[in-house]
């Protein structure tokens, strides 16, 4: 398992410095950043099978692909807007916020979903059995406090419980920490981190410890299966690199299809690409989990768009999911 550290912002800063010093690249290059965990399995398959390069050749170009790993939406978004990365990945809420903030300017939109999977809010505090049980003595670890997928999902639930005006009630007890480090802290116990809004595979790993329990699932909050994370980019990259963009999108579609029909092989790909130390049978069990669907089609993403607009996080109201996706995604079903 690869571990994201607190030094990742420095890595992002280094990427910005290097890229800002270089001229804009031409068609045939793409710089992609992904985060950690099995939620990025589609990208692992794309990378492992060199599918972007494959579809690039069909478009008549040789595509140079650069892969980077970062933790948290904040660094992703900053790198994208600064031109240090072409495509970034983060939860649906951070992607929607960037769509909202860049309308009429960089016009950031989503490329594809990376799948629907539940994220569990976990705790090793036996007194916490519901969101209402959290107090100022608790600390909830999330990859990007206040702004990431997990924080925004918790804010939506908090608004439901306490009203829109109090949707940030638990922001003061959330802390930014990568999923691997937060998992280790939750399992070990004894630190200020006694809760973690986690994601696969880390949540399942943590739940193998008898002292850890699930408080709530993102599916509970959203009313059913929903997209976890998106890939997104700027209008400029989309418009100026049509062949590269098309090759990338087609690669994603093929990777999702490969996972659906080859789950054991896909699990092995995750272990190989992410250099995971998890047992193969453990990873395969997650990939085969009926709650998880590796699909490029967005599911219930519009719930986020509506709820985040309702509490004031988004200034712009989307009419449908197609407002914040590039048109290539319209060929697939979505919601």
In a domain, 1, yes or no: no
Q: In terms of domains, do 236 and 310 share one?
A: yes
pLDDT of 35:
83
pTM of the predicted structure, to 2 decimals: 0.86
pLDDT of residue 1: 38
What pLDDT sits at residue 3?
Answer: 35
From the list 214, 181, 203, 222, the residue with the least C-alpha distance to 282 is 203
Query: Do residues 111 and 130 both lie within one domain?
Result: no
Q: What is the dihedral of CA 305, 307, 310, 311, to 10 degrees?
A: -110
Residues 6+ apart with CB under 8 A from 331: none
For residue 320, the domain's CATH number is: 3.40.190.10
State how many domains the chain has.
Answer: 2
Domain boundary, last residue among 195, 222, 249: 222
43 close to 32: Cβ distance less than 8 angstroms: yes
Q: Which burial class, exposed, middle or buried, applies to 320 when counting CB atoms under 10 A from its CB (0-12, 13-18, 19+)?
A: exposed
pLDDT of the residue at 75:
84
- Are residues 143 and 195 both part of a single domain? yes
Q: Is residue 64 domain-resident?
A: yes
User: How many of the other CB atoms lie within 10 Å of CB of 30?
Assistant: 23
**Do 140 and 55 have their domain in common?**
no
Which of 156, 190, 222 is the endpoint of a domain?
Answer: 222
The list of the chain residues with pLDDT below 50 reads 1-24
Q: Is 36 inside any structural domain?
A: yes
What pLDDT is stored for residue 76 in this prediction?
87
Element housing 156 (H / E)? helix 149-162
Q: Are residues 138 and 189 in the same domain?
A: yes
The SS3 of residue 106 is: coil
Residue 2: inside a domain: no
Instruction: Tell me which residue range forms the domain holding 75.
Output: 8-116+227-331
Residues 226-246 pLDDT 10s: 999 999 999 999 999 999 999
Structural domain contains residue 61:
yes
* Tokens describing residue 270: 């995750």
* Residues β-bridged to residue 30: 65
Question: What's residue 26's pLDDT?
Answer: 65
Residues 102 and 124 in one domain: no
């Amino acid at each position: 398992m690869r571990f994201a550290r607190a030094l990742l912002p420095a890595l992002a800063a280094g990427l910005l410095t290097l890229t800002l010093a270089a001229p804009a690249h031409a068609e045939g290059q793409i710089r992609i950043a992904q985060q950690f965990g099995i939620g990025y399995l589609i990208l692992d398959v794309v990378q492992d099978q060199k599918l972007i390069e494959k579809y690039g050749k069909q478009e008549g170009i040789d595509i140079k692909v650069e892969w980077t790993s970062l933790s948290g939406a904040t660094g992703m978004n900053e790198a994208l807007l600064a031109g240090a990365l072409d495509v970034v990945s983060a939860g649906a809420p951070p992607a929607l916020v960037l769509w909202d903030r860049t309308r009429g300017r960089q016009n950031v939109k989503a490329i594809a979903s990376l799948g629907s999977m539940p994220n569990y809010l976990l705790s090793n505090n036996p007194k916490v059995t519901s969101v209402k049980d959290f107090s100022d003595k608790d600390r909830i670890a999330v990859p990007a406090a206040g702004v990431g997928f997990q924080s925004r999902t918790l804010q939506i639930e908090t608004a439901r419980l306490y009203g829109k005006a109090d949707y940030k009630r638990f922001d003061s007890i959330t802390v930014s920490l990568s999923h691997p480090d937060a998992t280790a802290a939750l399992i070990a116990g004894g630190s200020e981190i006694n809760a973690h809004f986690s994601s696969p595979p880390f949540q399942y790993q943590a739940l193998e410890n008898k002292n850890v329990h699930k408080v709530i699932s993102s599916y509970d909050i959203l009313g059913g299966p929903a997209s976890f994370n998106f890939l997104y980019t700027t209008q400029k990259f989309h418009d100026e690199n049509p062949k590269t963009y098309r090759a990338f999108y087609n690669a994603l579609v093929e990777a999702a299809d490969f996972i659906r029909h080859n789950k054991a092989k896909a699990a092995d790909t995750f272990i190989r690409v992410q250099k995971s130390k998890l047992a193969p049978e453990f990873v395969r069990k997650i990939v085969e989990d009926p709650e998880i669907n590796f699909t490029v089609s967005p599911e219930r993403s519009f719930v986020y768009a509506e709820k985040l607009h309702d509490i004031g996080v988004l200034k712009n109201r989307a009419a449908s999911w197609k407002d914040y996706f590039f048109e290539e995604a319209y060929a697939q079903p979505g919601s």
